[in-house]
């Protein structure tokens, strides 16, 4: 499937948001008091990360100038594409990320 250049950057931003979602799920599992009894809690988020990483390997991890289209093999990248397609950073998440970056830059 060809992803138009005008959509690739949006898809990439959504993929990064999906990385955040998987990281949150791993964080919750890692700090749950009964985590040792539930190793399955780690499997799905870890698999999601692998799939999103593969999608980013395909479309590129960084923005290109000029924007370029990307070829996605839906047999390999289907679930990552679907998750990224329906995920996008909310304004609140974007503001928090900017604030965190700003705070890190000013206090390091």
Kindly write down the DSSP assignment for every residue of 42-103, as one continuous string. HHHHHHHHHHHHHHHHHH-SS--SS---EE--HHHHHHHHHHHHH----HHHHHHHHHHHHH
Q: Express each pLDDT in 2-61 by its tens digit.
A: 888 888 888 898 889 889 989 999 999 999 999 999 999 999 999 989 989 999 999 999
Q: What is the pLDDT of residue 108?
A: 43
Identify the band that residue 65 occupies on the pLDDT scale cut at 50, 70 and 90: confident
Q: What is the pLDDT of residue 75?
A: 74
- pTM listed for this prediction: 0.71
pLDDT above 90: residue 79: no
Q: What is the pLDDT of residue 73?
A: 82
Residue 95 C-alpha from the chain's centroid: 17
DSSP state at residue 4: P
- Cis peptide before 14, with omega less than 30 degrees from 0? no
CA–CA distance, 104 with 26 (Å, rounded to integer):
23
């Amino acid at each position: 499937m060809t992803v138009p250049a005008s959509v690739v950057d949006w898809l990439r931003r959504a993929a990064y948001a999906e990385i955040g979602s998987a990281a949150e799920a791993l964080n919750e599992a890692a700090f749950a008091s009964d985590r040792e009894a539930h190793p399955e809690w780690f499997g799905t988020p870890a698999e999601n990360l692998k799939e999103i990483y593969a999608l980013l390997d395909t479309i590129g991890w960084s923005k290109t100038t000029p924007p370029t289209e990307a070829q996605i093999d839906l047999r390999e990248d289907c679930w990552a594409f679907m998750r990224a397609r329906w995920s996008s950073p909310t304004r609140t998440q974007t503001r928090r990320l900017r604030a965190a970056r700003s705070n890190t830059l000013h206090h390091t």
